[in-house]
């Protein structure tokens, strides 16, 4: 029989029941998403592929068939599919903490940050109120100082006006006093002259002999009479 005929060839090995069925590798498992790079994938012990026995390699032909190669790769595909769906553990960056502990720790950090922010806001509000109070006091003090300055200026102006008015009143009083003195002296002079004339008329009427006397003689006679 010719060895090149199909009957002379070795019959192709059929897949055993223990070998996994050949499945194409999904594109998602070939190229994992970027957000899964932080995950560490492990296989449970019951799904880890077992190493083939040493004598099985010697029983297989030197040129393995395409079916055998695909069967071998299908074990890897199946194990990859199983590990991507069953045992996925996240590689925690916080010294081996679990997902729950890491989440709780992150939540606690956020709460502390929020409390610190609220405290800072409250402190800023207190500082703002204190600054507003100090500004109000400064404005009040400035307003009072301006009012005091205006009052002093008004008082100084009033004092100056009072001094000027007093000086004017003194001048007017002096002028009035001078006029009054002049008028008094004038009145006194008029009164004296009038009295002398009335006395002369009285003596002339009482004594007819006085009519022949002069005024100087009459005054001299009156003086002599007063001495007596």
Shared-domain flag, residues 86 and 160:
no
Write down the pLDDT at residue 210: 56
Instruction: Specify the pLDDT at position 179.
Output: 82
Q: Which residue has the higher pLDDT, 69 or 53?
A: 53
* Mean pLDDT (whole number) for 133-148: 94
Q: Looking at residue 208, what is its pLDDT?
A: 59
For residue 102, report the phi and psi dihedrals to the nearest 5 degrees. Answer: -65, -40
- pLDDT of res. 34: 60
Q: Are residues 208 and 125 in the same domain?
A: no
Amino acid 53: pLDDT: 54
Mean pLDDT within 165-177: 86
* Domain assignment of residue 4, given as a range: 1-91
Q: What is the mean pLDDT of residues 110-136?
A: 94
**Is 106 in the same domain as 145?**
yes
What does pLDDT average to over the chain? 69
pLDDT at 96: 66
Q: Of residues 54 and 121, which shows the higher confidence score?
A: 121
Residues 100 and 32 in one domain: no
Q: Which residue has the higher pLDDT, 146 or 78?
A: 146
Asked if 100 and 183 sit in the same domain, the reply is yes
Of 52 and 124, the one with more pLDDT? 124
Same-domain pairing of 181 and 205: no
Residue 77 has pLDDT above 50, yes or no: no
pLDDT tens-digit series, residues 101-122: 888 999 999 999 999 999 999 9
Final residue of a structural domain among 91, 125, 148: 91
Residue 82 reports pLDDT greater than 50: no
> By percentage, how much of the chain surpasses pLDDT 70?
44
Q: What is the dihedral of CA 29, 33, 37, 41, to 10 degrees?
A: -30
What's the distance, CA 41 to chain centroid? 53
- Domain match, 75 and 158 both: no
Over residues 188-198, the pLDDT tens digits come to 777 776 666 66
- Do 73 and 42 lie in one domain? The reply is yes
Segment of 29-43, 99-113, 167-181 carrying the highest mean pLDDT: 99-113
Query: What does the DSSP assignment read for the chain?
Result: --TTSTTTSPPPPPPPSSSPPP-PPPHHHHS--GGGTTEEE---GGGSPPPPPHHHHHHS-SS--HHHHHHHHHHHHHHHHHHHHS-EEE--TTTS--HHHHHHHHHHHHHHHHHHHHHHHHHHHHHHHHHHHHHHHHHHHHHHHHHHHHHHHHHHHHHHHHHHHHHHHHHHHHHHHHHHHHHHHHHHHHHHHHHHHHHHHHHHHH-GGGGGS-HHHHHHHHHHHHH-
What is the reported pLDDT for 150? 94
Question: Structurally, how many domains does the chain consist of?
Answer: 3
Q: Looking at the structure, do residues 20 and 77 belong to the same domain, yes or no?
A: yes
Judgement on whether residues 70 and 121 belong to the same structural domain of the protein? no
> Which pLDDT does position 183 carry in this prediction?
83
Considering the domain architecture, whether residues 28 and 113 belong to the same structural domain is answered as no
- Clarify whether residues 33 and 71 are in a common domain: yes
């Amino acid at each position: 029989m010719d060895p090149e005929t199909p009957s002379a060839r070795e019959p192709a090995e059929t897949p055993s029941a223990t070998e996994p069925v050949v499945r194409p590798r999904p594109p998602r498992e070939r190229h994992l998403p970027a957000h899964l790079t932080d995950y560490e994938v492990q296989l449970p012990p019951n799904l880890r592929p077992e190493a083939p026995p040493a004598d099985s390699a010697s029983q297989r032909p030197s040129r393995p068939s395409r079916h055998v190669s695909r069967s071998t790769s299908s074990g890897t595909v199946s194990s990859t599919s199983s590990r991507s769906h069953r045992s996925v553990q996240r590689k925690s960056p916080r010294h081996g903490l679990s997902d729950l502990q890491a989440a709780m720790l992150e939540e606690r950090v956020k709460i502390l940050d929020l409390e610190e922010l609220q405290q800072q806001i409250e402190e800023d509000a207190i500082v703002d109120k204190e600054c507003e109070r100090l500004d109000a006091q400064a404005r009040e003090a400035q307003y009072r100082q301006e009012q005091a300055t205006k009052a002093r200026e008004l008082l100084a102006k009033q004092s100056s006006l009072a001094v000027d008015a007093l000086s004017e009143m003194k001048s007017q009083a002096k002028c009035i006093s001078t006029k009054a003195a002049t008028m008094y002296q004038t009145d006194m002079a008029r009164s004296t002259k009038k009295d002398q004339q009335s006395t002369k008329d009285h003596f002339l009427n009482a004594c007819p002999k006085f009519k022949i006397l002069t005024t100087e003689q009459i005054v001299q006679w009156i003086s002599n009479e007063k001495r007596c």
